[in-house]
Structure 1
Amino acid sequence: MLKKTLFQIHWFFGITAGLILSLMGVSGAIFSYQPQITKLINPESYSVIEQPHAKLTPAELFSHFKQQQPKIEINSISVTKSPTESSVVNIQKQGERRGYDMMVNPYTAEVLPEIKGQAFFRFIEQFHRTLTAGEFGKQLTGACTLILIFFVLSGLYLRFPKKHSFKQWFAIKPHLKGRNFLWDLHAVVGTWVMVFYLTFACTGLFWSYDWWRAGMFKVMGVENTRAGGKEKPEGRPAKGMQQRGPDAQRPQRVPEAEQQGSTLSNVLVQQQLNQAWAGFNTQIARDYSSVTLTVPQQADGRVKISFVDAIPQNERARNSAVFNLKNNQLEKVDLYANKKLNEKIMSSMLPVHRGSFFGPVYQFFAMLAALTMPLFFVTGWMLYLKRRKQKRLTQAARGDLGSEHAVLTEQAWLISYATQTGTAEQLALATAKSLQQAGYAVVVKSVQQLTAQDLQQAQQALFIVSTYGTGSAPDLAVGFSKQLMKHRADLAQLNYAVLALGSKEYPESFCQFGHAVDTWLARQGANPLFELIEVNNANPKEIQQWYEALAEVTASDVQQVEIKKQFETWTLSKRELLNPNSLGAPAFHLELQTTADVTWQAGDIAETQPQNSVERIQEFLQQQSISAETLTSQGKTIFEVLRSKDLTQPICAYATLDELLEQLPELPRREYSIASIPAQQCLQLVVRQQSDAQGRLGLGSGWLTQHSVIGQEMAIAIRSNPSFHLIEDDRPIICIGNGTGIAGLLSLLKQRIQQNRGRNWLIFGERQHEHDYFYQNQLEAWQAEGMLQHLDLAFSRDQAEKQYVHHRLREQAEVLKNWIADGAVLYVCGSIQGMATDVDHALEDILGTELLQQLRDAGRYRRDVY
């Protein structure tokens, strides 16, 4: 719930505050290089030609401008050591809070051209801080900066605790497509810039809120000497200019009579500047790049001096001193290099914010990070729109139809489905949408909702039904098959068609329930619109036949509506053998990770797209005398294309590779119960190796447990399995299963325990306690914590007479009845051959056929068996 809430807030702020943060990021990136850009575009203001004689001293510059422009008020004079850099005379000017920097030739005192670009950078600075909207803009940017901190921390949490490799965390995967690529770009680049954004936000708030600024001083352990907790205006830096000092001069005594006035005469100021300049160069004993002398205004016998080291750490790394004119001594020398790190940070907040505090390399990457701000806004919006589109597609199949609540009329098409895993329902909804688009009214109902009156009232009906297990009806359709199909009904008015779903991997029961429905309808006098259509493993070509047949009988343009499965790229991160030395086939615990935004419910299914092993592909190519590097018309190598092809098909003569590939269908997909819940941040599966008569590993189990390697990327789609979902209330649950069926049961138990619901009972069976007790530590820990009230185990080979889970059920018959009377819901997961059938018989004997059917109809007997 916490993760879901954080995610909702994350994307909501992303599509709102994201725009402002994008503008702040771009403007901040531009402003971060303001000193360098200003100097680059103003070479005539910052650079001069070196002359053979010395530069003018501060006193000489002061005297010159007082003679040339007696009305100007000079605040300070900056001189650099470099012979090719200009000097700066800072004067008072209306509208300039920190004065106006007048660039002058240090040899002739000629005023150089005014600096270009200052108005632009003032605008950029104001835009960055307030969006040029005054106090309101300042509050808006401050709030968005706080949101940026939330983005970073929530984004990091949403990625954790996934056990990604370094590559998963930091490498962009350009081979990903569509939404997967957008999510990967958003997450990976977000990880890159995380430190930069935290630094930007924490330092940027220094100028936004007094309480934040005061807190920073307190946390950093630095005394806040700024008035009112606010930063005092700092004198303009010397724009990086270097200064060379003149020869030392003999200090001149200042007449006491002239010191008594509150305002100094120009002559006295010139004398003080001379004395301070000479004394500073004589006593500093430290190399420097520039010196700024503040023009004294009061007769206090002191001149304030600011100077920058020869190689300054950043643009605010300034040293300060006071020259005492009375004793001709340099006093109160405060060197930036001697400050502690916390003091440096608090006195250089702008360089820390820009990144220059940490050096030019860091500053460059900080600038790039700021420029990527719009990337997150754009990708966030695109992901949001794709998410909305996906929701609309889902709702279009159900909510937009509104067909389940439509009134059944003579003109309406009745579409009924029988599903175990949801595929038949999806096809029924897609068919309904196709007919609606062709102009027909439709009503969609599951077969358990059908009544004899519905069938007798309808004029045309479509049945889309799957076969479950060994030829049985899906669990929720058992009532329909045992009740309605056991009675006679006059359906002479009904025109019908049946789409039967099944799997040819079970040839004895392929589409058996679909044929049973078709036979029953024909016996009741109903008229088939066309012959029953069989579909093997949701084969698209066979489904297309269904739509073509509907188009023909309706004489309408009935178009196929595809059922889009959202396959995501997952990475195999862990594979662990669960049953070493077992009498049975090896069973493995698998963990997979993804960067995509994927969620599921306890009880859902992972549909995987297996691939052929390297050995199998090489064997096939050798048989066909084809080189693995041969290119196909798709521009891919034949080896790469054959990874997902069924190589067991008989091959007819072919002239080109395309003709060969047309004979090879795509490999069938494999489904596995998910053993984890979304809160675990990984997909967990339990897979047992299967082998054919020749000892060759099965397609899905071989791919997952042996042919793939750790770090292998796989295509997996999460499929909702509503018939096995967890109840939403606190009723007790009874979980029954064997072997790898523990996977589906584990997800249910994990969800219950996360919800702090402890009325749980597990009955689990395997071969030997010593080798096949899957997840023993986890199960016994839950039992010790009281979250698993009953744990009954059946290890069939640990005693002479084999014991199975249905034996434990019979032993606990009275307890079972009490739990059922208390509203318990039954969940069965595992093999249908043996276990599920035996459990079903045991439940009938204990509870009675009628009560068991009531449990099915009420959704209190749920199965995920295979």
Structure 2
Amino acid sequence: MPRLIPSLRTVLFRLHWALGLTAGLVLALMGLTGALMSYEEAVTAFANHDRLTVTAGDRPALAPSALVARIEAQAGLKVNILTLADDPAASVHVRFARDPATRARPPAVYADPYDGAVLGPVRLEGVFTTVRDLHRWLLLPGGSKGWGRTITGACVLALLVFLGTGLYLRWPKVHRWRIWLKPSLSRPGRPRWWSLHAVAGTWLIPVYLVMALTGLTWSYPSFKDAATGLLVGERETAKPMRAAGRRAAAEAPADASGPAAVDRAWAAFRAGEGREAGTTLLTLPSPDARAIRIRWLPKGVDDLSARNEARYDAATGLLLATEGAADLPLGRRLMDNILEVHRGRFFGDLFALLFCLAALALPGFAATGLTLYVLRRRAAAQRRPAKPRTAPPALREASR
């Protein structure tokens, strides 16, 4: 008598391949786009190598307010962020403020820090913007508020289901490291594809687990809030910054406002902590902002998780507070650099490469899973008994 209720293994197996034929294809696309973005900075720098350098000579660099004024006069746009380097021959990366109506950000440009001349737009920026939108919400209408984000979020959840069901389905009766970690490529047919699919998945379980959990923070705000509460704590949701003093406003000169405040803050930064800065991001304050934000990396360091921050009064240009990456607990650093954790760069260059290769492997899992499905269906069709052939009605009448 056939069994009416399928076993747990059968249910999980069907769930695994059903998600593989649907969410697996989306995850394959997300893996390809994610791998492209893993080395976005390096690819962009290579494509813009002629715009990354300028001739310094004996020219003094312009103050931020003068530099911004000249760039805005040429571009006709409001500057939002300046990325400056300690190298005298390095150009300035300029990002503009978003359009108030469409919330779209104009293309970034490079500029000469000595005369403010715009050197040209950042090549490949539009390409990577499209790749990023494809990765996050499949280029569907609505962007981050449309169905694309819902679909990709559900597929990330499916990745967690893949990890759990795949581990259960391949759980061996005899535990040996060769069974777990070495594929049996000498086996012919479907066993070879299954071994490659299962063993590669076992190797990459930790990577995909980190990718999925960090990816959910963009798809589901409630999950991000829960992760923040777990890693940071409810009482430490605000960034802890060291106060620099209570008399900043009282010590300010009467004319230290607007552009003068930005220049005063920049001069104070360069005379203080900025002496050790390699790359610096200067965020210009909006009209209603209270602070000028300066983030910086030490010389010779390109790890974004090591980024420090200083804030200056937007009206006076005097230091308000500072924050060092080394002073933050691990949980706060993880949440503040969730993108770097997602890409593996938080753990070092070797892990960044591993995460990139794991992203590239997602299409491979979709391909091997589809191959296994086709081979299984073909084998089942061959085992199915053939139906007896019946003669046409006319022949049956004639034989009587």
TM bin (shorter chain): 0.7 to 0.9
Q: Does 1:158 align with 2:158?
A: no
Residues 752-810 of structure 1, C-alpha deviation per residue, up to 9 Å, x if partnerless? xxxxxxxxxxxxxxxxxxxxxxxxxxxxxxxxxxxxxxxxxxxxxxxxxxxxxxxxxxx
Displacement of 1:326 in angstroms is 8.5
2:342 to 346, 353, 369: 353
Q: Does 1:175 align with 2:186?
A: yes
Q: Does 1:120 align with 2:121?
A: no
Q: Does 1:364 align with 2:353?
A: yes
Match of 2:393 in 1: none
- In the aligned structure 1, how far is the partner of 2:274 from the partner of 2:51? 30
RMSD (Å), alpha carbons:
3.1
**Contact map agreement 1:273 1:295 (CA 8 A) in 2:** yes
Displacement of 1:132 in angstroms is 1.1
Displacement of 1:298 in angstroms is 4.9
- In the aligned structure 2, how far is the partner of 1:82 from the partner of 1:142? 41
Match of 2:195 in 1: 184
Matched positions, count: 367
**Contact map agreement 1:323 1:329 (CA 8 A) in 2:** yes
**Contact map agreement 2:71 2:111 (CA 8 A) in 1:** no
Distance of aligned partners of 1:318 and 1:222 in 2 relative to their CA distance in 1, 3 Å threshold:
farther
Distance of aligned partners of 1:83 and 1:163 in 2 relative to their CA distance in 1, 3 Å threshold:
farther
Match of 1:19 in 2: 25
Q: Does 1:391 align with 2:398?
A: no
Letter in 2 for 1:339: L
Residues 603-626 of structure 1, C-alpha deviation per residue, up to 9 Å, x if partnerless? xxxxxxxxxxxxxxxxxxxxxxxx
How do residues 801-820 of structure 1 correspond to structure 2 at under 5 angstroms? none
- In the aligned structure 2, how far is the partner of 1:325 from the partner of 1:3? 62
Match of 1:218 in 2: 229
Q: Which ranges in structure 2 are unaligned for 5 or more consecutive residues? A: 1-6, 239-250, 391-400
| Secondary structure of the structure 2 residue equivalent to 1:77 | strand
1:333 to 322, 343, 351: 322
Q: Which ranges in structure 1 are unaligned for 5 or more consecutive residues? A: 228-252, 260-267, 407-866
**Contact map agreement 1:322 1:333 (CA 8 A) in 2:** yes
Displacement of 1:317 in angstroms is 4.4
| Secondary structure of the structure 2 residue equivalent to 1:16 | helix
Distance of aligned partners of 1:382 and 1:43 in 2 relative to their CA distance in 1, 3 Å threshold:
same
1:79 to 74, 81, 84: 84
**Contact map agreement 1:44 1:112 (CA 8 A) in 2:** no
| Secondary structure of the structure 2 residue equivalent to 1:160 | coil
Residues 813-860 of structure 1, C-alpha deviation per residue, up to 9 Å, x if partnerless? xxxxxxxxxxxxxxxxxxxxxxxxxxxxxxxxxxxxxxxxxxxxxxxx
Letter in 1 for 2:8: L
Q: Does 1:304 align with 2:293?
A: yes
How do residues 53-72 of structure 1 correspond to structure 2 at under 5 angstroms? 53-65=59-71, 68-69=73-74, 72=77
- In the aligned structure 1, how far is the partner of 2:345 from the partner of 2:171? 31
1:138 to 149, 158, 163: 149
Letter in 1 for 2:42: Q
| Secondary structure of the structure 2 residue equivalent to 1:6 | helix
Letter in 1 for 2:367: V
Displacement of 1:179 in angstroms is 1.1
- In the aligned structure 2, how far is the partner of 1:194 from the partner of 1:6? 18
Distance of aligned partners of 1:222 and 1:98 in 2 relative to their CA distance in 1, 3 Å threshold:
farther
Q: Which has the higher contact order (CA 8 A, sep 6+)?
A: 2
Distance of aligned partners of 1:401 and 1:85 in 2 relative to their CA distance in 1, 3 Å threshold:
same
**Contact map agreement 1:269 1:295 (CA 8 A) in 2:** no
- In the aligned structure 1, how far is the partner of 2:131 from the partner of 2:342? 15
- In the aligned structure 1, how far is the partner of 2:195 from the partner of 2:381? 23
Match of 1:646 in 2: none
Q: Percent identity?
A: 31
| Secondary structure of the structure 2 residue equivalent to 1:195 | helix
- In the aligned structure 1, how far is the partner of 2:324 from the partner of 2:260? 26
Residues 67-107 of structure 1, C-alpha deviation per residue, up to 9 Å, x if partnerless? x4596433343321122321133333535645653311123
Displacement of 1:3 in angstroms is 2.1
- In the aligned structure 1, how far is the partner of 2:289 from the partner of 2:15? 60
Distance of aligned partners of 1:52 and 1:382 in 2 relative to their CA distance in 1, 3 Å threshold:
same
Distance of aligned partners of 1:300 and 1:137 in 2 relative to their CA distance in 1, 3 Å threshold:
closer
**Contact map agreement 2:276 2:299 (CA 8 A) in 1:** yes
Distance of aligned partners of 1:296 and 1:220 in 2 relative to their CA distance in 1, 3 Å threshold:
closer
Letter in 1 for 2:381: R
Letter in 2 for 1:269: G
Distance of aligned partners of 1:389 and 1:286 in 2 relative to their CA distance in 1, 3 Å threshold:
same
| Secondary structure of the structure 2 residue equivalent to 1:345 | helix
Distance of aligned partners of 1:294 and 1:127 in 2 relative to their CA distance in 1, 3 Å threshold:
closer
**Contact map agreement 1:58 1:79 (CA 8 A) in 2:** no
> What TM-score results when the alignment is normalised by the length of structure 1?
0.39
Distance of aligned partners of 1:72 and 1:211 in 2 relative to their CA distance in 1, 3 Å threshold:
closer
| Secondary structure of the structure 2 residue equivalent to 1:372 | helix
Distance of aligned partners of 1:207 and 1:73 in 2 relative to their CA distance in 1, 3 Å threshold:
same
Displacement of 1:276 in angstroms is 1.4
Distance of aligned partners of 1:143 and 1:307 in 2 relative to their CA distance in 1, 3 Å threshold:
same
1:202 to 213, 216, 219: 213
**Contact map agreement 2:16 2:162 (CA 8 A) in 1:** yes
Displacement of 1:138 in angstroms is 1.6
Displacement of 1:221 in angstroms is 3.3
Residues 274-331 of structure 1, C-alpha deviation per residue, up to 9 Å, x if partnerless? 3212211222276211223333455988533222232446335432212358887533
Distance of aligned partners of 1:130 and 1:72 in 2 relative to their CA distance in 1, 3 Å threshold:
closer
Residues 664-713 of structure 1, C-alpha deviation per residue, up to 9 Å, x if partnerless? xxxxxxxxxxxxxxxxxxxxxxxxxxxxxxxxxxxxxxxxxxxxxxxxxx
Structure 1's consecutive aligned runs of 4 or more residues displaced over 6 angstroms after TM superposition are: 224-227, 325-328
Distance of aligned partners of 1:2 and 1:221 in 2 relative to their CA distance in 1, 3 Å threshold:
farther
Tell me which protein shows more strand as a share of its residues: 1
- In the aligned structure 2, how far is the partner of 1:339 from the partner of 1:219? 15
- In the aligned structure 1, how far is the partner of 2:197 from the partner of 2:212? 19
Displacement of 1:41 in angstroms is 1.0
- In the aligned structure 2, how far is the partner of 1:78 from the partner of 1:70? 17
How do residues 784-863 of structure 1 correspond to structure 2 at under 5 angstroms? none
Displacement of 1:169 in angstroms is 1.8
Distance of aligned partners of 1:287 and 1:98 in 2 relative to their CA distance in 1, 3 Å threshold:
farther
- In the aligned structure 1, how far is the partner of 2:235 from the partner of 2:388? 66
2:95 to 64, 86, 90: 90
2:113 to 103, 106, 111: 106
How do residues 542-691 of structure 1 correspond to structure 2 at under 5 angstroms? none
Q: Does 1:41 align with 2:39?
A: no
**Contact map agreement 2:262 2:317 (CA 8 A) in 1:** no
Larger radius of gyration: 1
- In the aligned structure 2, how far is the partner of 1:285 from the partner of 1:165? 55
- In the aligned structure 2, how far is the partner of 1:101 from the partner of 1:327? 29
Distance of aligned partners of 1:77 and 1:122 in 2 relative to their CA distance in 1, 3 Å threshold:
closer
Displacement of 1:162 in angstroms is 3.5
- In the aligned structure 2, how far is the partner of 1:29 from the partner of 1:105? 32
| Secondary structure of the structure 2 residue equivalent to 1:112 | strand
Match of 2:396 in 1: none
**Contact map agreement 2:258 2:314 (CA 8 A) in 1:** no
Distance of aligned partners of 1:48 and 1:316 in 2 relative to their CA distance in 1, 3 Å threshold:
farther
Match of 1:376 in 2: 365
- In the aligned structure 1, how far is the partner of 2:290 from the partner of 2:26? 51
Letter in 2 for 1:91: F
- In the aligned structure 1, how far is the partner of 2:28 from the partner of 2:116? 45
**Contact map agreement 1:38 1:117 (CA 8 A) in 2:** yes
| Secondary structure of the structure 2 residue equivalent to 1:107 | coil
- In the aligned structure 2, how far is the partner of 1:122 from the partner of 1:222? 33
- In the aligned structure 2, how far is the partner of 1:326 from the partner of 1:371? 49
| Secondary structure of the structure 1 residue equivalent to 2:319 | strand
Match of 2:11 in 1: 5
